[in-house]
Amino acid sequence: MDMAIRFPNLGVDLDYVGKSIHIFGFEITIYGILIAVGMFLGIGLIVLEAKRKGCDQDRYLDMLIISLIAAVVGARLFYVAFSWELYRGNPLEILNTRNGGTAFYGGLLGGVLGAAAFCRIKKLSFGQMADASSVGILLGQAIGRWGDFFSRESFGEYTDNLFAMQLPLSAVHASDVTSAMRDHLETIDGISYIQVQPAFLYESLWCLLVLVFLLFRRSRKRFEGEIFMNYLAGYGLGRFFIEGIRTDSLNWPGTRIAVSQVVSALLFVFFTIAVLIRRTMVKKREEIQKRRRESLYQAQEETPPEEEEWSVPLREPEEQDAPVEEETSQEQAAPAEEEISQEQAAPVEEETPKEQDIPEEEIPQEQEVLEDLPKNAE
């Protein structure tokens, strides 16, 4: 009977809610099953998102394998780092993950680092892959958080609201029970129940709301990585308030400040500002490019009409001048030919009469002069 879970204000009584099942003699926790189901459904949604974008789905699967391995390691190390007192005496217990002990933000950090390293090596866009992965991560969280319902974890302080949940005192860790819970113990059929807030339910519903928001927001993004930044900011906002009511949070050493609450606040503030700045920069860049296009268009429209008229008939004078040049050359060539014919004809007319007018009597006189020359020379 200590396996019962009740929601008194909703009138829901679950007499038996098991923590595990046995398959072929092996005990498998329902928490682990739901984590696995959420993981596979999340991967499926990521692959569908990659297909919608026209990206290589195999690349996304390769990235997810690396990212999941890094996420498991990161989730465990994050938990151990803030629960070192539990492992100081027996460090080998760190490797025993069957007893629980993981932190989501550690897994998120490890997964992001693994994905970033993969994208850098393969020279792929981390922002594009992170955007597609965000919706899958949220779906996995919404489903996986229900594992805390079966393991009786991730509950909040005492409450009497509509969603108040009652758990057997013997089914929870004594360190998670507060004085307010003990002051409001309720005994039913000899079993003491604490009444708490179902923090896991709040987080699951919040993840679904953020998922729906991102699905509508993805078509309006201005830059690669915007959806992932919205996811971190949106999830951080909800987790900040949910973490404030939980009683099983990891605290900073020596304080009662929840680690996840601080991380959530930083995520919300930092990435909200980052998205606003990036969107403003992108908007200004688009306005500058728009003004440049408009100025170029106006410059083309304001081109003077005279330049347009000269640009069309430039070739017509060349075609008209060609015959004029030919006629001119012919006219210039005509007198030249006449002058040449006159010059050539003139000496012919002069020489002919001279040769014809020479008297025959002068010829022997020139011969006599030539015969007398050698005599004078001697």
Rounded average pLDDT over 174-200? 92
Residue 377 pLDDT greater than 80, yes or no: no
For residue 101, the model assigns a pLDDT of: 82
- Residue that the structure tokens 């009409």 belong to: 305
Query: In b/e form, how buried is each residue of 152-166, taking b as 16+ CB within 10 angstroms?
Result: bbbbbebbeeeebbb
Q: Please give the structure tokens belonging to residue 226.
A: 């915007």
Q: Three-state SS string across 110-130, please?
A: HHHHHHHHHHHHHCCCHHHHH
290 φ/ψ sector (left φ>0, alpha ψ -120 to 50, else beta): alpha
For residue 305, the model assigns a pLDDT of: 57
Residues 6+ apart with CB under 8 A from 226: 127, 131, 275, 278, 279
pLDDT band at 210 (very low <50, low <70, confident <90, very high): very high
Q: How far apart are CA 133 and CA 119, in angstroms?
A: 13
**Run of H or E residues at 364:** helix 362-377
Residue 354 burial (C-beta neighbours within 10 Å; 0-12, 13-18, 19+): exposed
For residue 124, the model assigns a pLDDT of: 93
Q: Please give the structure tokens belonging to residue 126.
A: 């981390």
- Residue that the structure tokens 């688009």 belong to: 286
Residue 325 pLDDT greater than 50, yes or no: no
pLDDT digits (tens, 9 = 90+) for 105-119: 999 999 999 999 999
Query: For the whole model, what pTM was predicted?
Result: 0.76
Rounded average pLDDT over 89-100? 77
Q: How far lies 233's CA from each of 15, 21, 246, 252, 273, in Å?
A: 39, 37, 20, 22, 9
- List the alpha helices (DSSP H) in 5-125: 30-53, 57-81, 84-87, 104-122
Compute the Cα dihedral for 35, 40, 44, 46 and give only its sign.
Answer: positive
In what side-by-side order are the strands of the sheet with 191-196? 12-14, 5-7, 165-168, 191-196, 186-188
For residue 131, the model assigns a pLDDT of: 96
> Is 145 marked as binding a ligand?
yes
For residue 254, the model assigns a pLDDT of: 80
Angle formed by the axes of helices 226-245 and 199-217, nearest 10°: 160
Rounded average pLDDT over 155-174? 93
Residue 322 burial (C-beta neighbours within 10 Å; 0-12, 13-18, 19+): exposed
pLDDT band at 307 (very low <50, low <70, confident <90, very high): low
For residue 313, the model assigns a pLDDT of: 52
Question: What DSSP character marks residue 93?
Answer: G
Q: What is the residue-averaged pLDDT of the chain?
A: 83
Rounded average pLDDT over 328-344? 47
Q: Please give the structure tokens belonging to residue 374.
A: 């050698």
Q: Please give the structure tokens belonging to residue 230.
A: 């919205």
Angle formed by the axes of helices 259-301 and 226-245, nearest 10°: 150
Q: Please give the structure tokens belonging to residue 48.
A: 């569908």
Q: How far apart are CA 110 and CA 108, in angstroms?
A: 5
The set of long-range contacts for 55-60, using a CB threshold of 8 Å and a minimum separation of 24, is 55/128, 55/132, 59/122, 59/124, 60/129, 60/132, 60/133
Residue 295 pLDDT greater than 70, yes or no: yes
**Least confident piece of the model among 14-23, 295-304, 368-377:** 368-377
Q: How far apart are CA 252 and CA 249, in angstroms?
A: 10
Residue 39 pLDDT greater than 70, yes or no: yes
In terms of average pLDDT, the best of 178-182, 227-231, 324-328 is: 227-231
For residue 360, the model assigns a pLDDT of: 47
Compute the Cα dihedral for 275, 276, 281, 283 and give only its sign.
Answer: positive
First to last CA, the chain: 174
Q: Please give the structure tokens belonging to residue 148.
A: 């805390």
